[in-house]
Amino acid sequence: MSGRGDRLFMESGQREIYNDLETYSPLKGFEHIDVFILAMGIGFKAGIRTPLKTKDGVIRYESVKENWRFIKAIAIAETKDLAIVGNLRACASIAEEYANTGLRLIQEMVHSTNADELENTIERITIDRHREITEAKKDTSAERAEDDDETRESTE
Return the top range by mean pLDDT from 12-16, 100-104, 124-128: 100-104
Q: Where are the domains of the chain?
A: 7-155
- The answer to whether residues 22 and 53 touch, using CB atoms and an 8 Å cutoff, is no
| pLDDT beyond 80 at 87 | yes
Average pLDDT over residues 77-94: 96
Residue 6 DSSP one-character state: S
| pLDDT beyond 80 at 2 | no
Give the up-direction half-sphere exposure of residue 4: CA atoms within 13 A in the CB hemisphere: 12
Q: Length of the chain in residues, anyone?
A: 156
| pLDDT beyond 70 at 52 | yes
pTM of the model: 0.72
pLDDT at 51: 96
Average pLDDT over residues 78-85: 96
| pLDDT beyond 50 at 5 | yes
